Amino acid sequence: MGAPLARMQVYVDALPQGLDSYPECVQKASIYREFLVGIDCEALRPELPPTLRAMIDAPAPVTAWVPEVHASALFLAMSDTFADDTAFVDHVYRGNRRLLDSPLYRLLFRVLGPRTILRGARSRWGLFHRGGVEMVLDLPSDNDAKHAALTLEYPPRVIAPLLALSYAGAFRAAAELSGAQDVSVRVQTHGSEHVTYALSWT
């Protein structure tokens, strides 16, 4: 792997208490478990700190909550096993498609339509993230409008730039499963405590 998991280490070092930062900020274990699909875990695990290695060796139940920074650090460790960022972002997008279309979540996204999904976006986000990463939605009142803005607000440095791009894939997957066509999700701004996305569809 060259420099072992350099991106993960940069992320962890930037947090105020490393992997112990923001323990109240959690996400559903079903997310990281889905993203492990297709990953060479045997090659990855020797490079991981014990806390993250345990997430692979004894995966938490899909309905359990795991610390957001642990999952984020593991995602960044995974990213260093891909040829480039585009390949990793595509992997995350496909993982989100599988997750949101699984029996556990399918009824929350199928058939409802993109505007209905967006109006309930904050509550749906709360099914996957709690305690620190919050969503703010700006949806035009015009029912014919096919664009919106989403902002994620979070404790300092919780969402690294590559993870911000990856979340765009999650929003794209949700919109597509709701029936939206030609979905575009772009990162407009990214800072240490927020990231804003522009969404559009046909």
Task: Indicate whether 187 pLDDT > 70.
Answer: yes
What is the pLDDT averaged over residues 11-40? 96
Q: Does domain 110-200 have CATH number 3.40.1720?
A: yes
Percentage helix, strand, coil for the chain under 3-state DSSP, each rounded to 5? 45, 15, 35
Indicate the domain borders of the chain. Answer: 110-200
Could you tell me the pTM of the whole model? 0.90
Which pLDDT score, from 0 to 100, does residue 110 have?
66
**Percent of the chain surpassing pLDDT 90:** 70
Tell me which of 199 and 103 has the higher pLDDT.
199
Evaluate whether 133 touches 25 at the Cβ level (below 8 Å): yes
For the stretch 74-85, pLDDT in tens is 999 999 889 999
